Amino acid sequence: MSCIEQMKYEILLEKTTYKEAREYIEKNSEEVYYVDPGYKIFKDYHIIGVPPIAMGVKGNSLIFTYTKPCYGTFVLTVDSEDSTKEIDRLRETAKDKVKPSLKKSKPPESPKAPSGSYLDMWKK
């Protein structure tokens, strides 16, 4: 299927911002992956938005943003054979291109500042 309108979907959040959509997906998904704008799902549908674009998985359901000109941005979920295939592809792609969620892992360490004063740094 190449048109979202032809799929059996459920609207979880409507007429929202990209930031609110991302936060909703992060809070309501078991797994979260981040994709770049233009990432393709369901063969012909390109995800658009402001990065990082979150895509969620909850059971066999794929949760993602859908932007329709003149109507706004929505968070949709699809639970079908097609969504299961997309979830498998998303997980496989996650090894190379998609950034997995940091939601359940510990935060990255911040770089440590070199010891010494500002003047010491310029003496070298």
pLDDT tens for each residue of the chain, 124 residues long: 446 677 788 999 999 999 999 999 999 999 999 988 888 888 778 888 888 899 999 999 999 998 888 888 999 998 888 888 889 888 887 765 444 454 554 444 444 444 555 555 455 5
Candidates 6, 3, 5, 15; CA nearest to 73 is 15
**Straight-line distance from the first to the last Cα atom of the chain, in angstroms, rounded to the nearest whole number:** 62
Task: Determine whether 124 is exposed, middle or buried from the number of CB atoms within 10 Å of its CB (0-12, 13-18, 19+).
Answer: exposed
Candidates 50, 57, 61; CA nearest to 93 is 57
Distances (CA, A) of 64 to 4, 24, 36, 81, 113: 11, 10, 13, 16, 39
Distances (CA, A) of 86 to 3, 105, 110, 116: 14, 24, 34, 52
- Domain boundary assignment for the chain: 10-97
Q: What pTM was estimated for this model as a whole?
A: 0.71
Taking a C-beta distance cutoff of 8 angstroms, is the pair 74, 43 a contact?
Answer: no
Helix (H) or strand (E) holding 75: strand 72-78
Q: What's residue 32's pLDDT?
A: 92
Provide CB contacts within 8 A for 103, sequence distance 6+.
26, 32
User: How many residues does the structure list for the chain?
Assistant: 124
